[in-house]
Structure 1
Amino acid sequence: MLLTSLGLTLLLANSVAGQSIEGLGVSGGRGPRGGIGDDAHPVRRPQALITDAKIPIAPNTTRQLAPGPAPRLVLHNRTLSTCDNRRAVLIDSSTGGAQQEMLGFGHAWTGSTVSVLDSLDDDVFVQVMRDLFGQEGNNMNFMRHTIGSSDLDGNQYSYDDNGPSFNQGEPDLELANFDLGPHGRAMAKMIARMGDVKGDVFLFGSPWSYPGWMKHNNLFIAPNLNEGSYSNIMNNSFNTKYIPQAIQYFTKYVDAFRDHGVTVNGLTLMNEPLNAQGGYPCMFLDAADEAAILAQGLGEEMHNRGVKVMAYDHNTDQPMYPLRVAQGAPEYTDMAAWHCYQGSVANYSVIQDFHYAYPDKLQFMTECSNYLPEAGSDNWSVAQNFIPPVRYGASGATMWVMATDPDFGPHSPYGGCAGCLGSIIVNSSTTYTKTNDYFMVGQFSRFIRRGAVNYKVLEGVEGTTYDPNWFDLIAVKNPDMGWAVVFMNNLGSDQDVVLSFTAGGFEWEGTIPNATVVTWLLPSDQIVGQSGVLPQASGTAVSGTGTGEGRICSTTSSVASSSSAPPTSMLEPVPHTTHTIAADGRSSGVA
């Protein structure tokens, strides 16, 4: 039965706040490849990293992961004078404020990604992999990939089509014709090379469709097929008589990727299981059928292989779907996955609702895309779909399509996203561009370590995703016991912030510029205590009692709207916005 309101209330009252990532089949991310904030690389001085929301019209015209004025310690023996118009941010740093552990942030491997990265010269490919996964790059460690083709793939296929096309094959009851095929093998081999750069990535797979013969497929061929039309698949849904074959299909896929040196850590049974439009790489999969596939053998097979199962993998407007899966296969439903495409904005509070019902199951935002962004406009897509999910209880997030060509492809001829922006645009065999999305993802993946703990934000958020102006943030304590606090300021003016914690410790203050995403890296109280009062940050106006350690006041003027650009004097060079690799292998061009 579904939960009654009384039962949900009791679960809310008795639920345990924290959720652990222990046992996910990946390393803890705290070794030499973990990055700043892990046990081996503690934060020793406060830092601020800024990415402007504005999509640059030309290189080097906006801040992109650029150092900014560092936050400073608050000293209580001075007057507030002209600096008392501050935004108070309060974090519940008590045991009761500790929420979920963080797994990571990243992107999606798609057919388009494999195709365009494979076109790069090898030394350029090595560089882009370092930019994406290296500790000096975006350090991504939570990645999705497509099982078979998706809409971001120029070739439509499954791993067992057994016929002339991906929707016209004959039943293969023994899966004798299972084969990754040339495109599947290319993806597996490229993902294996990701491991050469970063060895602790959590990788999960999602199919856009099962083989066509596993579906209720009444095929209708349009009479004008040769005039640009295409086959229309009606009743595009899973046929439950093929549950045994579906179990074999996923099992063979995990084993085949392992044979290519790729460990699959997680799985969703269907990308967007409520999407069944004809002529599109998709398939309807009812929640009861998803639970049945797990309960009748797939759950056990996956757990025997160390693979965690994520329920749902679709929009937040149908929150009962993952609950139904978890009720039908509770021991095999490890996680829940959510997408952002609920109208104009997603309602991520459903993550909190699911947590009340299943406090031990992790959750993630597994897909959102930035559609046809325009140069000169503000881009909040990553921040709007990374910060709220984490604040409501998600342990990580992935954006859609990691890399494309300049025409947002290759993509399916049958439909799909013809304008989804990736982190990387491959321009030629020797050049690629890092987009604004690349730097926005980096605000999270570079500084929030695996095993970090998210804490409740009690004060400081203003507005919601439904409002035109909005100030939001998340605060996580990294394994080094320091803090990574990610702010999003879309209020229309610079915000002077004072950050404090309920369980004591030091207070910090600084300015979050308008129309930016800013990450503060704060050293642990122990390191601050050992080093004493930190020096005054440059570029700030100070007021106080003459000690030289007053609070920060913004020296920049507030701007009229969130689309205004920052002053030119505050801009910092954007390193390697576009790489041109010379014949000798050295990077040239934009520096």
Structure 2
Amino acid sequence: MPSLKLALLAAAGAAFGATLHARASPQAYASSGDGTYKLSPVAAPVRGAGSPGSNSTWKLSINDQSSGYKQTVNGFGAAVTDATVAVFNALPADKLTTLLQELMTDAGANFKLMRHTIASSDLSADPAYTYDDNGGNVDTSFSSFNLGDRGTAMAELLAKMKSLQPDLTILGSPWSPPGWMKLNGVIDGTTVNNNLNHAYASQFAQYFVKYLQAYQSHGVTIDAITIQNEPLNSQAGMPTMYVYADESGNLIQQNVGPALRAAGFNTAIWAYDHNTDVPSYPQTVLNEASEYVNTVAWHCYAPNNNWGALTTFHNSNPNVDQYMTECWTSTTTAWNQAADFTMGPLQNWAKGALAWTLGTDKSEGPHLSGSGPCTTCRGLVTIDTSAGTYNLEVDYYMMAQFSKFIPKGAIVLDGSGSYTYSGGGGIQSVATLNPDGSRTVVIENTFGNAVYVTLTTAGGETWSGLVYANSVVTWVLPAAS
């Protein structure tokens, strides 16, 4: 009964909103790796030391005074790929409406940040495409520019999301420009000369202008772009393009930035969009294109990935914003994968985090058939396209433990007490001061047993409560009295 479900969702969202505004009593919500808890209301923390009973204990602290204020949160979400659009549109209209409510409103995850693929990515059905392929022939006048069926469907889905979530920030990232702009003349299929042909540098910039205009015509304002997804990743089996760091800075400073401004767009340009192990890349871009770039986008795929790299980068560039714009979820990743790639960046100055990807079918697709695409990337939502039904995966709930309870404009607070043992078990936490004065504390427990946590604040408060085994628990504390 979709109408009843929608009514229940709306009621739940209204109740939670009232709780936030009332700020009168603490609340707690949990999601667990085994699915026992799914954004479930649980016993709220109590003031004081509480009674741990026979449970293990853990101490956390947060600095909720001005000296502990860090970055401001902009939002959380995932990547909208061609796969996402195709499987979402396979749902009956009423089911799609319900799903979008669960994703984009406070009835569910309340996502406020979405990254979308500019034309095809590895999570697109064959064939790979851009918005101006022109049969591989040069098209400097863009007479063949067209979003096509897939680009149009993408824009229409983003417009629906924006209508449900007016505070939505949309980031666009291309996997490759049109082949005729490249030295090898193709979107994919080879790593030889997989670089931009700088004879078409001005057309490269205009391609972004045409894309922004086309999406705008469908009611979608793109808030930010990166000029190339994973510029250090050159693969033959999927759309990619290698872009050197100084090349990226020069293209933004000399071509893309001026072209966007000349066309009347104030769309932000974010640097890099790749792994944390080459921080010199975004530093070079910032050094060369600071007139147009004030934000760095990071991915999670570096060997022995360490989110502390973002803090190191912040210390050198304290006025530069940072985001975690891609990390995968899969049937092969742990239950806490999404919690980890949201928590870690938040602890290290990121303003938001994005999963790869929002939606797939039950076979982790559709995806390109080459050897490069991710064939085991599972969306936060999986769609049974035959039955016309969907399932919210554990990764959805783990991200929603942050996105539902940390509003846009919240200030991340300095804190201590997060720790992981060498065997992998541990407690992680991050806290925010919210615009209404309430505090949100997200606690991840990867131990196989419940832990009784005691939290102290710099303002002199003590709160304590139970955090279940293999779970993420979110406390919403009232404003300091």
Q: TM-score, normalised by structure 1?
A: 0.75
Displacement of 1:373 in angstroms is 3.3
Task: State the alpha-carbon separation in 2 of the partners of residues 382 and 38 from structure 1.
Answer: 27
The match for 1:400 among 352, 356, 360 is 356
Where 1:248 maps in the other structure, the secondary structure is: helix
Match status 1:116 vs 2:87? yes
Match status 1:185 vs 2:140? no
Q: Which amino acid aligns with 1:111?
A: D
Matched residue, 1:533: none
Q: Which amino acid aligns with 2:436?
A: D
Matched residue, 1:461: 418
Summarize deviations over 1:81-124 as a string: whole Å, max 9, x none: 97896322111222221000000100111000110111111111
Matched residue, 1:272: 230
Q: Which amino acid aligns with 2:428?
A: D
Match status 1:367 vs 2:326? yes
Q: Is contact 1:36–1:42 with CA below 8 Å preserved after alignment?
A: no
Match runs of 1:58-457 below 5 Å: 62-74=36-48, 86-155=57-126, 156-163=128-135, 169-217=136-184, 231-302=189-260, 304-343=264-303, 345-373=304-332, 378-414=334-370, 415-427=372-384, 428=386, 430-457=388-415
Task: State the alpha-carbon separation in 2 of the partners of residues 154 and 35 from structure 1.
Answer: 41
Q: Is contact 2:55–2:450 with CA below 8 Å preserved after alignment?
A: no
Match status 1:46 vs 2:32? no
Matched residue, 1:511: 466
Matched residue, 1:27: none
Task: State the alpha-carbon separation in 2 of the partners of residues 95 and 449 from structure 1.
Answer: 19
Task: State the alpha-carbon separation in 1 of the partners of residues 442 and 226 from structure 2.
Answer: 29
Summarize deviations over 1:326-374 as a string: whole Å, max 9, x none: 001012112000111112x421111112212221111011001123338
Task: State the alpha-carbon separation in 1 of the partners of residues 236 and 14 from structure 2.
Answer: 44
Matched residue, 1:555: none
Displacement of 1:321 in angstroms is 0.7
Cα distance change on mapping 1:81 and 1:201 into 2, 3 Å: closer
Displacement of 1:391 in angstroms is 0.4
Q: Is contact 1:37–1:447 with CA below 8 Å preserved after alignment?
A: no
Where 2:184 maps in the other structure, the secondary structure is: strand
Task: State the alpha-carbon separation in 2 of the partners of residues 237 and 489 from structure 1.
Answer: 45
Highest Rg: 1 or 2?
A: 1
Task: State the alpha-carbon separation in 1 of the partners of residues 211 and 143 from structure 2.
Answer: 13
Cα distance change on mapping 1:81 and 1:439 into 2, 3 Å: closer
Displacement of 1:492 in angstroms is 3.6
Summarize deviations over 1:216-243 as a string: whole Å, max 9, x none: 21779xxxxxxxxx94452212222221
Displacement of 1:484 in angstroms is 0.7
The match for 1:478 among 421, 434, 438 is 434
Q: Which amino acid aligns with 2:289?
A: A
Q: Is contact 1:130–1:197 with CA below 8 Å preserved after alignment?
A: yes
Cα distance change on mapping 1:480 and 1:276 into 2, 3 Å: same
CA RMSD of superposed structures (Å): 2.4
Cα distance change on mapping 1:92 and 1:85 into 2, 3 Å: same
Displacement of 1:480 in angstroms is 1.1
Structure 1 moving runs of 4+ over 4 Å: 33-40, 80-85
Q: Is contact 2:201–2:255 with CA below 8 Å preserved after alignment?
A: no
Unaligned ranges ≥5, structure 2: 1-12
Cα distance change on mapping 1:493 and 1:39 into 2, 3 Å: closer
Q: TM-score, normalised by structure 2?
A: 0.91
Task: State the alpha-carbon separation in 1 of the partners of residues 442 and 243 from structure 2.
Answer: 36
Displacement of 1:521 in angstroms is 0.7
Task: State the alpha-carbon separation in 2 of the partners of residues 323 and 35 from structure 1.
Answer: 45
Q: Is contact 1:204–1:266 with CA below 8 Å preserved after alignment?
A: yes
Task: State the alpha-carbon separation in 1 of the partners of residues 184 and 252 from structure 2.
Answer: 23
